[in-house]
Amino acid sequence: MLGPQGSGKGTQAERLCAFFGAPHIEIGEMIRAEIAAGTELGHDLQRYNDRGELVPDAIVLGAVKPLVAQARSWILDGFPRTMAQAETLDALLTGENADLDGVIGLEAPDDVLIARLAGRRYSEATGKLYHLTANPPPPDDPGPFVQRADDTPENIKRRLQIYHTETEPLMTYYAERGLLHRVNAAASVDDVYGAILTALLAID
């Protein structure tokens, strides 16, 4: 799943994983869990996270490689985010005689994303992300619901800038290989999900 912050990667990936019965590999969540555990690595990661910057490729790749190698199918959410990560993923898959089935490219204008991120809330109990109006927490999630530390206006701006320079070029990279399915992420959660499912189910 490719897409900027606030495009709904996590929300959509969760639904898709339930539908396809595939594991959800979510790097941002792994990073937040490490920070919450208070490990030495978590301490280092917090510095990047709090500034809204990407974690160095070597750390991310070390965490992702075994997960990708472990299962035959998965939904990758928030990875790859740099060309180096995409190239390493390709090398890893080639080594396993595997390939990506498809890449979903979620697209929405920055002003829509900024408005969405402002209403985003994180459950301290379950680690799940919700939106106050578009995707409110279900009754079985006790919360409390807090704003993510990296969802400050200043960080949001920086993260979107980094997205445009570091990650957006991957859309072209996958489009050139015929793998990219662009989806309008400014639509409702249900409509975005419908568009993604239609694209994925049409793949041979």
Cβ-based nearer residue to ligand AMP, 20 or 48: 48
* CB crowding 155-184: b at 16 or more within 10 Å, else e: bbeebbebbeebbbebbebbeeeebbbbbe
Q: Residue from 3, 4, 8, 78 that binds ligand AMP (CB under 6 A)? A: 78
Answer yes or no: 159 catalytic. Answer: yes
Which residue number, 100 or 198, has a Cβ lying nearer to ligand AMP?
100
For residue 49, give the nearest of 152, 161, 190 by alpha carbon. 152
| Identified catalytic residue from 15, 32, 120, 128 | 120
State which of residues 4, 7, 81, 104 lies at the interface with ligand AMP (CB under 6 A).
81
Query: How would DSSP label each residue in 14-49?
Result: HHHHHHHT--EEEHHHHHHHHHHHT-HHHHHHHHHH
128 in catalytic set? no
Using CB under 6 A as the binding rule, whether residue 11 contacts ligand AMP is answered as: no
Sign of the alpha-carbon torsion through 117, 119, 122, 128? negative
Number of residues that bind ligand AMP (CB under 6 A): 17
Which residue's beta carbon is nearest to the bound ligand AMP? 28
Contact flag: residue 5 with ligand AMP (CB under 6 A):
yes
Residue ranges that bind ligand AMP, judged by CB under 6 A: 5, 27-28, 31, 48-49, 52-55, 60, 78-79, 81, 85, 150, 159
